[in-house]
Amino acid sequence: MLRNYVAATTVLMALSNVSAAQTNQGAGETAEPELETVTVEAKFVATGATSAMKQDVSVMDTPFSVANYSDAFMKAIETTNVADLYSYMTGVRRGGVSGYDVSIRGFKTTQADKGAILVDGLPGLSGRFGSPPTFASEHVEVVKGPASVLYGQAQPGGFINIVSKKPKDTFGAIIDLRANSFSGGGLSFGDASGYNAGFDVTGPIGDGQLLYRMVAEHTDRDTFRDGFEDSQYFSPSATWNITDDTTLGLSLEYRKRKNAYDNQLVAPNKDARLIADIRTRYQEPGDVQEEEGYGGTLSLSHDFGDDVRLNAAFRSVNSEDTARGFDNVAVLADQVTLQRRARQQLNKRTYNYLDSNLSIPFATGALEHKLLVGVNAGIDTTDFERIQFFNGPTTGPNAVPGAGRLNVNVYNPVYGNVLPLSGYAPGPLNRRYTENTSAGVYLSDLVTLSERWKASFGLRYASEKQETEERKTPPLTSQKTDSSEVLPTAGLMFQPTQSWTLYASYATSFVPQAAGVQDAAGAANPFDPQTGKQFEVGAKLDMLQERLTATLALFDIKKENTLAAITCNAGVPGTCSQQVGAERSEGVELEVNYSPLHNLQVIGGVAYTDARVEETFNAPAAPLVGAQLTNSARRAANLWVRYDIDTGPLQGLGVGLGAFHSSEVAGSLPSASDRRILMLPSYTVADFALYYELGERFDFTLKFGNLFDERYFEGVNSTTNEVGVVPGMPRNVTLSWRVNL
């Protein structure tokens, strides 16, 4: 680990020397223009990121690893959803089909982790299928490491914050059109295609005291897995500048989505070599998922003078989704038959969260403070109703007596042999209602100790309550839990020059166990909350008028009191768990954003992450010790280069080239009864793009994703492991056209 840190530091020093040489060579010459425009010269990574400290603080004054990916970068790589950004984020990995399925610094999050993805700093996505659209995002910030002090419940790997587009005081409008198709993985161009259309308009009303913005997007496309997606997104927003010091904002959103139900691929015998063709889909043609969500955020900002500022925001989301189809359950002993389940599910979710804080800069003698005092609280509910849950046979003929065939062949699934879902028995049913109530009081202080030294301190008192009720199948039980914690954080920064920051920090996280969990004997949630601790040291560089930025981070994270599924004792219904011990992630990351010329940008990063099960509390879980955490790659790298021709007959033409690499990934964990591990192979995927700007109003992009048609697997779905292997997209082609009105 020390060798990795020294090597990465050497790289940073070399970059610094190159930059200094360029600065000296330019002495007395006309300075190059700053990168300001929306396309050619727009920065891929911004130097400010408010998510880490909840204040307007530079990344250089933040003792944590944080990155701010701009709208210009999202356009450069031609992504339409946030999850497609993950491959080009250092230390971040996609691990499923939704935006929630992400692994950060080796720790994966799920749809139960409401703090995995935030919108303007608050929990609550308007939909859980697919991924949030980037068209509605001004930029996307990633904060790595535990962040419970400011945000409450959070996994120790970090979180993603989507900063939505806000109204502007000058008129502007964009029409964004995309067409896409596939030309790889066994598909010919045009076999599976679709389009995406977006419209964004903003400006003032009257004298400019009131501003507006409307963002709308429609997607209709086929997938490479014989599926489809049809979605609509609409978000109107307004800003009222009540006075020069007081601003009130309101942002609404509506999202509706319908897509083919798809449990992804399976790995017979936990062997990746036995996975079927990536186009193989095990659900019936009529199986669908549908969702509809409404949300809104109300925000208030007031400046009291002397830079004392109040910020308050309230976010409310209400969504409903349904699934109707045939689930993947397990590969049977013959290794060619997939057991399926006739399933219908109705899920309802609500989020109501408030955050309010007061930023107070002041001085005590020679010390300068940026104090932040705040409270946040909220209630989120889930109402999950199992309408049908009937499994196919585990042995014998591939048929249910008196019913249609449920199971299918792994390599040649035949559709149409099933009855309608109503033709199968309901199976074991339930309706589980859960209410989570969170409240916290926090404070943090960024202290300037001297010209070169700064420190940060933070503290939170967190209170969490969970209540779960069974509302459908007797016995109609109810379980409650109540936990609290005091969480600290601290950091120290040394800035030998304005261009360098050396830092060390300590951070913590806290996630209570769900109220509905039980041990093998059926006892209701006897488990301690999950806690996380991180130690991080690193270096940050910002030179050449922000044209060269880099972050090197060395981290050690420990997550304690994790749970694992076990077999329930005889007579105990439901799913049982055991507290298995601790997980640990140690690693080093290097991220660089460099623009040696005003029309050339390079962004990239490398990461080494050793994420594993470190200890267990009991003998049955002993095989877990040392096992690599699922969806975590030990070695990963990413790179994107864009060059634009700004003079001559080819002016307006640009070229983009990118690649991302992942070493092999574990798709399952061993157990006492089965020590096999699914290992998904390493891969390197290359992307290529051509850009063309026609004046200031029109720009075109032609992108070839997965240029060499690499067959690869992104990871496994969070709860299904070897029966939910997520394949990466084969070679794909996207043509986009943007009009600035």
DSSP state letters, 488-546: EEEEEEE-SSTTEEEEEEEEEEEEPPPTT-B-TT--B--PPPEEEEEEEEEEEEEETTT
- For the segment 446-451, the average pLDDT, to the nearest whole number, is 96
DSSP string, 286-313: T-EEEEEEEEEEEEEEEEEETTEEEEEE
Tokens linked to 363: 């001085």
Report which of 381, 477, 473 is spatially closest to residue 434, judged by C-alpha positions: 381
Query: Token pair of 228, please?
Result: 């489809």
- Range of weakest confidence among 38-52, 58-72, 149-163, 666-680: 38-52
Q: Per residue in 700-710, pLDDT tens?
A: 999 999 999 99
pLDDT value at position 295? 95
Q: What is the pLDDT of residue 46?
A: 73
Chain center to CA of 659: 20
C-alpha distances (whole Å) from 643 to each of 71, 388, 545 are 17, 54, 19
Which of 311-315, 393-397, 528-532 has the largest mean confidence? 311-315
| 269-278 per-position pLDDT tens digit | 999 999 999 9
Residue 110 has pLDDT above 80, yes or no: no
Query: What's at 139, amino acid-wise?
Result: H
| pLDDT value of residue 18 | 39
- List, in sequence order, every residue forming a beta bridge with 505; answer none if it has no partner: 491, 536
Structure tokens at 157: 């790997």
Percent of the chain with pLDDT over 90: 69
Quote helix, strand, coil % in the chain, to nearest 5: 10, 55, 35
Give yes or no for residue 8 having a pLDDT over 50: no
Phi, psi of 72 (to 5 degrees): -65, -40
What is d(CA 202, CA 217) in angstroms, rounded to the nearest whole number? Answer: 15
Provide the pLDDT for residue 433. Answer: 94
Q: Does residue 401 surpass a pLDDT of 60?
A: no
Residue 570 has pLDDT above 80, yes or no: no
Average pLDDT score, the chain: 88
Q: Report domain extents, the chain.
A: 2-740
DSSP code at position 682:
P
Among the listed residues 728, 531, 512, 720, the one whose alpha carbon sits nearest the alpha carbon of residue 630? 720
Query: CB-based contacts of 256: which residues, under 8 Å, 6+ apart?
Result: 231, 232, 291, 292, 293
Question: What proportion of the chain, given as a percentage, has pLDDT over 70?
Answer: 90
The mean pLDDT of 417-441, rounded to a whole number, is 92
Residue 262 vs residue 397, higher pLDDT: 262
* pLDDT tens digits, one per residue of 183-240: 999 999 989 999 999 999 999 998 889 999 999 999 999 999 999 999 999 999 999 9
Q: Please check the confidence at residue 39 and state whether its pLDDT lies above 50.
A: no
The class (CATH top level) of 2-740 is: mainly beta
Q: Is 197 helix (H, G, I), strand (E, B) or coil?
A: strand
Per the CB < 8 A criterion, the answer to whether 603 and 87 are in contact is no
Greater model confidence, 9 or 180: 180
The whole-number pLDDT of residue 4 equals 44
List b or e across 249-268, with b for residues whose CB sees 16 or more CB atoms inside 10 angstroms.
bebebbbbbbbbbbbbbbbb
Residue 16, pLDDT score? 43
pLDDT at 207: 87
As given in the structure block, the two tokens for residue 318 are 């209400």
**Residue scoring higher pLDDT (422 or 2):** 422
Pick the more confident residue, 40 or 511: 511
3-state SS string over 229-287? EEEEEEEEEEEEECCCCEEEEEEEEEEEEEEECCCCECCHHHCHHHCCCCCCCCCCCCC
Give CA–CA dist 373/445, Å, rounded: 9
Q: Cβ(130)–Cβ(229) under 8 Å?
A: yes
SS (H, E, C) 439-477: EEEEEEEEEECCCCEEEEEEEEEEEEEEEEEECCCCCCC
pLDDT grade for 313, boundaries at 50, 70 and 90: very high
Lowest mean pLDDT among 70-84, 282-296, 557-571: 557-571
Inform me whether the pLDDT recorded for 453 exceeds 50: yes
pLDDT for 717:
82
Of 300, 268, 283, the C-alpha closest to 340 is 283
- How far apart CA 115 and CA 101 sit, in angstroms, is 12
Secondary element (H or E) of residue 71: helix 71-76
SS3 category, 581: strand
* pLDDT bucket at 13, cuts 50 / 70 / 90: very low
pLDDT class of 26 with cuts at 50, 70, 90: very low
- In this model, does residue 342 exceed pLDDT 80? yes
Q: Which of 360-364, 573-577, 593-597 has the lowest mean pLDDT?
A: 573-577
Q: What is the rounded distance in angstroms from the CA atom of residue 327 to the CA atom of residue 723?
A: 10
- Residue length, the chain? 741
Q: Is 60 exceeded by the pLDDT of residue 17?
A: no
Rg of the Cα atoms in the chain: 26
Cα distance between residue 15 and residue 26, in whole Å: 17
CA-wise closest residue to 613 among 652, 651, 660, 558: 558
**Residue 228 to residue 563: CA distance in whole angstroms:** 36
Q: Look at the alpha carbons of 410, 415, 420, 424 in this order and tell me if their dihedral is positive or negative.
A: negative
- Count of C-beta atoms within a 10 Å radius of residue 452: 14
Residue 448 — very low, low, confident or very high, per pLDDT cuts 50/70/90? Answer: very high
In tens, the pLDDT along 474-524 reads 889 888 888 899 999 999 999 999 999 999 999 999 888 876 677 777 777
Q: Can you tell me the mean pLDDT for 276-298?
A: 96
Reported as type and span, the H/E element at residue 151 is helix 148-151
Residue identified by tokens 């031609």 is 78
User: Rounded to an integer, what distance in angstroms lies between the CA atom of residue 421 and that of residue 311?
Assistant: 51
Query: Does pLDDT of 582 surpass 70?
Result: yes
pLDDT at 711 over 70: yes
